[in-house]
Amino acid sequence: MESGLMNLNTLWFVLIAVLWVGYFFLEGFDFGVGMLVPFVSDDDLDRRVAINTIGPVWDGNEVWLLVAGGATFAAFPEWYATLFSGFYLPLFLILVALILRGVAIEFRGKDKRPEWRTWWDRAIVFGSFLPSLLWGVAFANILRGVPIDASGEYAGGFWNLLNPYALLGGVMSLLLFLLHGAVFLSLKTSGSVSDRSSGIARRVAWPTVVVVVGFMLWTYVESGDGVMPGLLPVIAIGLLVAVPWLLADRKDGWSFAATGGAIVLIVATLFINLYPNVLPSTLDPAFSLDVFNAASTSNTLTVMSWVALVFTPLVLLYQGWTYWVFRKRIGRDDLQPVAKAS
């Protein structure tokens, strides 16, 4: 029984990690595109081209976040409760930004007035920038640990979360998503938008490499026992280093695979370093929440496993089909009205 419970606990930790990996891979380029809308366009038509690259998929990408939150609530309720109470303000700000971004994407086309669209474009930029920064801050704090007392309650304040290590994690996620979005735009658009996006990606790639290396080294040193796993961070950094050369050769698909692979490996590295904890305590290691003391009952985890086994393939098939349908590049000609024959 203990062995089975232990396996289920670890299984759900891995599944939640996979959900976050998928969310950051998919939503990462959404955020990047949102932040880049004003910088890859000359006029409203260019901005429409950029926004339409994520128009059919952004809401589906956010489903990964909802499922990750729901899975955490059901599988590790103590983790969920402590995390959402201690990180209440940053998570609330992320939620507001996501709502604002979604409304902006849907509403900017409802009126052709330039001032109307300008305000919604600003909302898209803000709604993409803030989560990109705060997700990195949140996960860096989860990895580093926060003040948790003997009852499993968060004993710090908002400013405890804005420590230098966490802020560096926020800058890392911001740059990773910006680079990922620029490469995605280079892949999914044609003409001037693609060219500008490729140029931005080449300029952002090297600062991203520097920040990722700095964050990984800091994580390694702060862990105290050198738990940084194997070659995953090295491979991730190598993929990021390759991006400028791949873009210079206009290998946009390989560039996107490189930035996406780097995000996958970096997030996986963070979860590997975290296990078996789910939220370490900086007050006393004995107060830390882990995959055992924060978990639901074995019956709950068993039922969840069967539900995941049935529905996960269906969700993946549907989302894969969506990306296949909207796989083609978008250019200005695709959005300009067709002239009527006289």
The predicted-structure confidence for 244-265, as pLDDT tens digits, reads as follows: 999 988 899 999 999 999 999 9
pLDDT value of residue 26: 94
Going from N- to C-terminal start, the domains of the chain cover 2-335
Is this prediction's pTM over 0.75? yes
Q: What percent of the chain has pLDDT over 90?
A: 62
Residue among 45, 2, 6 at smallest CA distance from 189: 45
* The pair of three-digit structure tokens given for residue 20, joined into one six-digit string: 């976050």
| Predicted local distance difference test score (pLDDT) of residue 311 | 86
122, pLDDT greater than 50: yes
Percent of the chain whose predicted confidence (pLDDT) is above 70: 94
- The pLDDT of 211-215, averaged and rounded, is 94
Look at residue 152 in the predicted model and tell me its pLDDT.
Answer: 82
Select from 57, 120, 129 the least CA-distant residue to 93: 129
**212: how many CB neighbours lie within 10 A of its CB?**
20
Residues shown for the chain: 342
Of 90, 110, 209, nearest to 154 by C-alpha is 90
Residues 6+ apart with CB under 8 A from 301: 5, 8, 9, 11, 12, 75, 295
**Average model confidence (pLDDT) for the chain?**
89
For residue 146, what is the DSSP state? B
Mind listing the pLDDT tens digit for each residue in 128-168? Answer: 999 999 999 999 999 988 999 888 888 888 888 899 999 99
User: What is residue 229's predicted lDDT score, i.e. its pLDDT?
Assistant: 54
What is the sign of the dihedral through the CA atoms of 132, 134, 140 and 143? negative
**In this predicted structure, what is the pLDDT of residue 159?**
84
* Residue 243: both structure tokens together: 């991006």
Contact 254, 298 (CB under 8 A): no
Ranked by mean pLDDT, which of 1-5, 175-179, 247-251, 314-318 comes out on top? 175-179
What is the mean pLDDT of the segment spanning 197-225? 88
DSSP annotation string for 212-274: HHHHHHHHHHHHSS----TTHHHHHHHHHHHHHHHHHTT-HHHHHHHHHHHHHHHHHHHHHHH
Residue 227: pLDDT above 80? no
| pLDDT tens, residue by residue, 7-35 | 899 999 999 999 999 999 999 999 999 99
Quick one: pLDDT at residue 224?
53
**pLDDT at site 223:** 66
pLDDT at 337: 57
| Distance (Å, whole) CA 162 – CA 156 | 11
The per-residue pLDDT for 332 is: 86
> Is residue 277 within a helix (H) or strand (E), and if so which, with residue range?
strand 277-279
DSSP string, 83-138: HHHHTHHHHHHHHHHHHHHHHHHHHGGG---HHHHHHHHHHHHHHHHHHHHHHHHH
Residue, of 331 and 183, whose pLDDT is higher: 183
Predicted local distance difference test score (pLDDT) of residue 174: 97
Question: Beta strands 289-290 and 277-279: pairing type?
Answer: antiparallel
Compute the distance between CA of residue 18 and CA of residue 268 in angstroms, rounded to an integer.
Answer: 8
The pLDDT-based confidence of 236 (bands split at 50, 70, 90) is very high
| Predicted local distance difference test score (pLDDT) of residue 222 | 73
Q: What number is the average pLDDT over the span 107-128?
A: 91
